[in-house]
Structure 1
Amino acid sequence: MTTTSDPALPTAGGARADAHLAVHLLRLGDDALVLGQRLCQWITRAPTIEEDLALSNIALDLVGQARMLLTLAGRADGTGRDEDEFAFARTGREFTNALLTELPNGDFAATVARQLAYTHYAVLHYEALGGCADPELAAFGQRAAKEVAFHRLHADTWTERLGLGTAESGRRMQEGLDRVWPYTAELFEEDEVLRRLVAAGTVPSPAPLRPLWERRTADVIARAGLTVPTPAWQARGGREGLHTEEFPSLIAELQSVHRQFPGGTW
């Protein structure tokens, strides 16, 4: 794989590889893939059959988004690697998802809190990506924004339902928000890779989206009768491959069949 210090290299086929764009697409793809895998862990364990179906369908949407993003990353870095190679042939240290997406599910309220934070961010980011110059990326952003808008509605509805339910459900929903909020700032961070892409007009920056994200999530939390957390610390490191202690077991689960039957087809 090309490195970020060598952003544009000719490939054997004559196309130009863009290492910076590949890094960015890989990050977005890893976000979707890892969160989708976390949500898959709710299958047969959700509070109701309806929620079992809802969470599994959300996970399927995320995996579909990941497949597209990882394929585009393989094209951008000039290696031609496909989504299976990225998903199953990397070590945990090579994944660059935001830490928010890998947080353990916890109870249902904690998962709802994680979904609230991620979906409001993802809708805004994909809407912005839908206006980029590259027609393929723009088409993906427009489609993904519509998909995630339904995920956001699901998270909003459950945040309010739990917040305004019983004293116990409200307490758990607040605890879920308090657990998740220190991991939200990383979604909006810029580094040198992203700054170069933004300066070139290749992709939009998520940083300017944060105030609107804060207003929208705060509105939902207020309607739920809850309090917006004010974390004393902010987690970071996922974009550089530094992960939580629960992450290795998640990746082992994701890659288990592929490792047991390398090269297998179905």
Structure 2
Amino acid sequence: MSDQKFMYVLRLADNAMVLSQRLCEWCGKGPALEEDMALSNVGLDLIGQARFWYAYAGELEGKGRGEDALAFLRDAHDYRNLLLLEQPNGSYADTLARQFYFDAWHFLLLQQLTHSTDERIAGIAEKSLKEVSYHARRSADLVVRLGDGSEKSHAMMQAALDELWMYTGEMFRADAVDDAMATQGVAPDPSALREPWLNHMRDIFSEATLKMPPADAWMQKGGKQGVHTEHLGYLLAEMQFLQRAYPGASW
């Protein structure tokens, strides 16, 4: 049970950490000053959440690994983040599509985790939910603005959402870890989040005058089991460089 809970919490931490790293890559390069600051702030929120999850994961593991060791001293195959989150930033439309898909799922998940039988998980989820509520509103609003904007913004938003759709199925696919957590009341069954998520997608796609991809489309999988795309290795090489080059260094 403890090993499975460790793995579940580690997944939550890796999701937040990997996406925050991607968003921080936009710092100083945003399409407008307001968006540059907003993306950075969302990234900082996620780093804060990752720290809470990593700290708890280290305690559950009981091997003396803290936040830094779990974030910076594991290789790509040891990471358990969703494949969606390691995808490159691409254009602003690509980044926004990735954020929109994740935020909607993240919000629904955290809502359920606030009722976890594990008080530590419930507490972290409750704190994080305040930030993620804003993330979800912001990304959905921007999808609508760009989808229902100019001909070019509409086309770019549609293309980005279509391209990343195949990475969304993994969010709702349960494995042995998910099943164990659901049985113990620690976390919800991932499949239970699918219909609320799809309903939200339908609403936003419609408002944005965009065409929603088919719900039964073929989906990628593997991130939660440590099978990743080549993109994660490059991301970690940059993110982990200082800790790897100067082990144990502190400011």
TM, length-normalised to structure 1: 0.91
Give the drift of 1:220: 0.9
Contact 2:27–2:36 (CA<8 Å) still a contact in 1? yes
Following superposition, the deviation at residue 202 of structure 1 comes to 2.3
**Matched residue, 1:170:** 154
In the other structure, the counterpart of 1:224 is: 208
Greater RCO between the two (CA within 8 Å, min separation 6)?
Answer: 2
Residue identity matched to 1:139: G
| 1:242 correspondence with 2:220 | no
Which sections of structure 1, spanning at least 5 residues, go unmatched? 1-6, 8-17
Match of 2:41 in 1: 57
1:85 is aligned to 69
Q: Give the deviation of 1:80 after TM superposition.
A: 3.3
The answer for the alignment partner of 1:156 in structure 2 is 140
- Distance (whole Å) between structure 2 residues aligned to residue 131 and residue 202 of structure 1: 8
CA deviations on 1:21-69 (whole Å, 9 max, x unpaired) are 0000001110110000001111111101111100000000101111111
Q: Which moved more, 1:224-233 or 1:81-90?
A: 224-233
Tell me the equivalent position of 2:250. 265
Superposition CA RMSD, Å:
1.1
Q: Stretches of 4+ moved more than 4 A in 1? A: none
1:210 matched to 2:194: yes
Deviation at 1:97, TM superposition (A): 0.4
Shift of 1:205: 2.2
Name 2:95's counterpart in structure 1.
111
Amino acid in the other structure paired with 1:165? G
Give the share of equivalent positions with the same residue, in percent: 40
Cα distance in structure 1, aligned partners of 2:64 and 2:243: 20
Higher share in helix: 2
Shift of 1:173: 0.1
The structure with more radius of gyration: 1
1:232, distance to aligned residue in structure 2 (A): 3.7
Query: Does the 8 Å contact 1:124/1:145 carry over to 2?
Result: no
TM-score relative to the length of structure 2 = 0.97
Per-residue deviation, 1:82: 0.8
